[in-house]
């Protein structure tokens, strides 16, 4: 495993709410963290549900699995990392995981997250109470001295 390299001049920036939503719109797979018998993090396909009212994250799962059993506070994350340039971003959604009737108000047709696996017939939404993001920006490379200048 490679040794961590400190990046002098790198900067951690907060991402605002609207940009977090914009980033959530660009992806279809994220990770959800729940506590069942212990903490568990699983990848899920999702869709951002934006209406004139609340904003949710919709996902589908197998009936009876760990996500279907946990209706409590959860964390959901998406991110992107550019290892060669030492940059990246992360969006974290904290919220409550709730069951939803997919046939109510045309929810199924409008907000289907289209899971990659079959038998995902249990519909859930995350109702956010916090949406935050961070971006790590590398310092400007000194091209003649930095290895990143040649990548």
pLDDT in tens, 75-88: 999 999 988 877 89
How many Cβ atoms from other residues are within 10 Å of residue 21's Cβ?
Answer: 16
d(CA 78, CA 64): 25
pLDDT tier at 149, thresholds 50, 70, 90? low
Per-residue pLDDT at 145 exceeds 60: no
Domain edges within the chain: 11-138
pTM over cut 0.85: no
Average pLDDT over residues 11-30: 94
- SS3 state of residue 48: strand
**Cβ-Cβ contacts under 8 Å for 149 (sequence gap 6 or more):** 141, 142, 143
**List of residues 6+ apart from 45 with CB closer than 8 A:** 28, 29, 59, 60, 113, 114, 115, 116
Find the mean pLDDT for residues 104-110.
62
pLDDT value at position 11? 84
11-138 belongs to which homologous superfamily? Electron Transport, Fmn-binding Protein; Chain A (2.30.110.10)
Q: Where are the alpha helices (DSSP H) in the chain?
A: 17-25, 66-69, 107-111
């Amino acid at each position: 495993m490679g040794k961590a390299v400190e990046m002098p001049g790198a900067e951690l920036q907060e991402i605002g709410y609207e940009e977090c939503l914009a980033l959530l719109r660009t992806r279809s797979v994220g990770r959800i963290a729940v506590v069942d018998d212990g903490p568990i993090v699983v990848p899920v396909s999702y869709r951002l549900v934006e209406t004139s009212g609340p904003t949710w994250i919709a996902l589908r799962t197998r009936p009876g699995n760990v996500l279907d059993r946990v209706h409590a506070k959860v964390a959901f994350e998406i991110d992107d990392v550019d290892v060669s340039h030492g940059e990246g971003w992360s969006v974290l959604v904290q919220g409550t995981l709730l069951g939803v009737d997919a046939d109510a108000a045309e929810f199924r047709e409008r907000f289907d997250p289209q899971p990659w696996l079959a038998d995902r017939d249990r519909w859930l939404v995350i109702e956010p109470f916090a949406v935050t993001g961070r971006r790590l920006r590398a310092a400007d490379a000194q091209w003649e001295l930095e290895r990143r200048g040649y990548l």
